[in-house]
Amino acid sequence: MGHPQREWLDEREYLAREAVAAERHEYVGGVAYAMAGAGERHNRIAGNLFAALRAAARGTGCGAYISDMKLRVAGGRAYYYPDVMLSCEPASPEAIFKDAPCLVAEVLSPSTAAVDMREKLQAYCAIESLRYYLLVDSERVAVGYRVRAANGEWLAATLDPGERLEIECGPARASLGLGEIYEDSGLAVA
């Protein structure tokens, strides 16, 4: 997250300003934070995740979204721009945010990692529909993830070389390995 604006905004004001803003802002508790740009490696990794999830969602009624679709959490008290999202909510061409994703992935950079691993982890894991939260390092080959078990408990794990993470979101099915996630990123997968 970037630097905050100096004034407090309610949800309606934030959405109105964001609709015409030249840069994107995340919104937490009445404060809008300008977002920093991302480098090539970050974009390649996010693009790889999006491509795999978009292919899995094709024809299922689910949708994959990359960095420009907002995620509304905590009843509108916060809006984030996840790097990648998979949602099986009914599609609406006019939608400017999603409420009920099944999967959220954040590509970690030195400037965002702390927020992604603390604030967003807490906010995202409170979303009832969420089943997967992926934290993908952009500096080295390392993917940590959380999976919601059938009893509602969150389980933490890392994706090891040769292992695959099987994603099931409604009718959408994907299988992710380190090779697909880091393809063309300049990082060597063992």
Structure confidence by residue, pLDDT tens digits, 50-107: 999 999 999 999 999 998 899 999 888 999 999 999 999 988 888 899 999 999 999 9
Domain 38-182 has CATH 3.90.1570.10: yes
Question: Helix-strand-coil percent breakdown of the chain, rounded to 5?
Answer: 25, 30, 45
Q: What is the pLDDT of residue 90?
A: 87
Spatial contact of 4 and 32, defined as CB atoms under 8 Å apart:
yes
Own/partner pairs for 118-127, CB < 8 Å, 24+ apart?
119/28, 120/80, 120/82, 121/146, 123/73, 123/74, 123/78, 123/80, 124/71, 124/73, 125/154, 126/73, 126/74, 127/73, 127/99, 127/100, 127/101
Please compute the mean of the pLDDT values over residues 160-186 and round it to a whole number.
96
Distance set, CA 65 to CA 87, 114, 142, 161 (Å)? 8, 23, 22, 26
pLDDT at residue 111 is higher than 90 = no
- Rounded to the nearest integer, the mean pLDDT of the chain is 92
Q: What is the pLDDT of residue 183?
A: 97
Please compute the mean of the pLDDT values over residues 130-150 and round it to a whole number.
96
Q: What is the pLDDT of residue 1?
A: 47
What is the percent of the chain with per-residue pLDDT over 70, rounded to a whole number? 97
pLDDT at residue 4 is higher than 60 = no
Residue 37 banded pLDDT, cuts 50, 70, 90: confident
Per-residue pLDDT tens for 148-163? 999 999 999 999 999 9
pLDDT at residue 16 is higher than 70 = yes
Residue 5 banded pLDDT, cuts 50, 70, 90: low
Q: What is the pTM of this model?
A: 0.91
